[in-house]
């Protein structure tokens, strides 16, 4: 006899048991499904629809015309912004992953459990303050008359132009992504079976080779997800390229702002936004496929 409220363990009415489990599962799934429908799927559909609207006298008018798509996708400045955004977001993600690795490796393999907890806590602290405030604080450090150039001046270097440049933009992106990259890499490597690393060393594998042939393959999924997060955050970020990069060159988020500022061209801004989403979906699916791809010859 099955316990009341539980699916029968053996025999009995299997259908009714499954139905009960489905309702239970659905109850927990429903909020997130509703949330996604209301705040993701709905707005995306709305955005796609308005990309076909036209603007007349500063007002959006319902229509089904391809003029916005045609206008944006045939403009050189759109593609310049597109490739630049793709490029600088990729560079930023790569730099974040490289800079994060030594810290994450130390935390995962050298630090004690308590030290690791404190380090993760300290890495989370920057997120307690506004990203905009953190970005503005770089002005004091990166300006030509700022702290960094003053220090470099003591050893006879500089001054270097760091604000309103690609360097400034990447610094801004790293402000956003680096702590996250360290945390994700740390968690990934901390879960590696340490005996495998020790076995590699005992069998004569050198430290760098151990990282390359043991640690990285075992961390592949986590590292790809971390890099993907860094890329997504940088690709959609407006603050760093605008305030630290001086809008030169403008990224796609800046282009969206410029487009809406002038003549209230929300439909054209929607075109840019849809192109961004398509790009992010493509990159995300490719990254996930790569992350979970089984090595050749692996047993399924």
Partner 1 sequence: MTDTHKTKAKHMLRRDVLRIGGGVVLSAPFVSRAWAQTTEINMLAWYGHGEPDIVGAFEEANNVKFVPKYYAGGDNMLALIAQSPPGTYDVILSDAEFVQQLNLAGYIEELDANDYPFDDMLHEDFTKFPGHWDGDTLFSMMVRCGHLGVSYNTTAMSAEEASSYNGFWKPELEGKVGHFDWHLPNLGMMSLLNGNGAGLWDLSDDQWAAVQEKTMSLRPQAGGFFDYGGTFNGLKNGEMLAMCGIGDWITGALERDGAPVASVIPAEGGIQWTESYCIGKGTDKADIVKSFIQYMLSPEGQVKSAQMLAYPGFAITKAGRALLQEVDPAEANRSHQIDGMENEPIALINEGRIHYRDIPQQQTLEDWNDFWSEYKNA
Contact criterion met (CB below 8 Å) for 235 and 287: no
Q: Interface with partner 1 includes 299 (CB under 8 A)?
A: no
Q: Interface with partner 1 includes 161 (CB under 8 A)?
A: yes
Least separation in angstroms between CB 69 and partner 1: 15
Between 264 and 279, name the residue whose CB sits nearer to partner 1: 264
Q: What is the CA radius of gyration of the chain?
A: 25
Between 17 and 246, name the residue whose CB sits nearer to partner 1: 246
Residues 265-284 as x/- pattern, contact with partner 1 by CB under 8 A? xx------------------
111: closest CA among 122, 124, 97?
Answer: 122
Between 17 and 146, name the residue whose CB sits nearer to partner 1: 146
DSSP per-residue letters across 74-139: T-HHHHHHHHHHHHHHHHHHHHHHHHHHHHHHIIIIIS-HHHHHHHHHHHHGGGGS-HHHHHHHHH
Q: Interface with partner 1 includes 169 (CB under 8 A)?
A: no
Between 166 and 220, name the residue whose CB sits nearer to partner 1: 166
Contact criterion met (CB below 8 Å) for 93 and 232: no
256: closest CA among 47, 57, 45?
Answer: 47
Q: Interface with partner 1 includes 22 (CB under 8 A)?
A: no
CB contact set of 259 (below 8 Å; sequence gap of 6+): 265, 268, 269, 272
Residues 36-65 as x/- pattern, contact with partner 1 by CB under 8 A? ---------------------xxxx-----
Q: Interface with partner 1 includes 74 (CB under 8 A)?
A: no
Q: Which of 177, 185, 219, 259 binds partner 1 (CB under 8 A)?
A: 259
HSE toward the beta carbon, residue 73, CA cutoff 13 A: 12
Residues engaged in binding partner 1 (CB under 8 A): 57-60, 75-77, 80-81, 84, 139, 143-146, 161, 163-164, 242-243, 245-250, 255, 258-266
């Amino acid at each position: 006899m099955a316990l009341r409220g539980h699916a029968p363990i053996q025999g009995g009415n299997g259908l009714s048991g499954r139905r009960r489990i489905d309702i239970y599962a659905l109850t927990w799934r429903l909020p997130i499904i509703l949330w996604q429908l209301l705040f993701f799927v709905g707005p995306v559909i709305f955005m796609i629809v308005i990309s076909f609207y036209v603007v007349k006298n500063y007002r959006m008018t319902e229509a089904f015309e391809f003029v916005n798509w045609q206008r944006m996708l045939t403009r050189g400045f759109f593609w310049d912004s597109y490739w630049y955004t793709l490029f600088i977001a990729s560079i930023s993600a790569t730099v974040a992953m490289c800079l994060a690795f030594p810290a994450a490796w130390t935390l995962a393999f050298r630090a004690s459990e308590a030290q690791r907890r404190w380090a993760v806590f300290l890495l989370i602290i920057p997120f307690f303050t506004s990203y905009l405030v953190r970005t503005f604080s770089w002005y004091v450090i990166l300006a030509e008359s700022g702290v960094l150039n003053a220090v470099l001046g003591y050893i006879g270097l500089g001054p270097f132009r760091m604000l309103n440049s690609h360097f400034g933009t990447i610094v801004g992106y790293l402000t956003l992504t680096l702590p996250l990259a360290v945390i994700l890499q740390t968690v990934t490597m901390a879960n590696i079976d340490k005996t495998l690393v020790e076995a590699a060393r005992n069998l004569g594998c050198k430290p760098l080779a151990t990282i390359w042939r043991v640690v990285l393959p075992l961390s592949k999924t986590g590292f790809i997800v971390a890099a993907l997060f860094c890329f997504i955050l940088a690709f959609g970020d407006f603050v760093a390229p605008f305030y630290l990069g001086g809008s030169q060159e403008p990224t796609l988020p800046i282009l969206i702002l410029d487009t809406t500022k002038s003549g209230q061209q929300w439909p054209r801004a929607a075109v840019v936004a849809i192109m961004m989403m398509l790009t992010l979906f493509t990159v995300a699916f490719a990254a996930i496929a790569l992350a979970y791809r089984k090595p050749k010859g692996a047993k399924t």
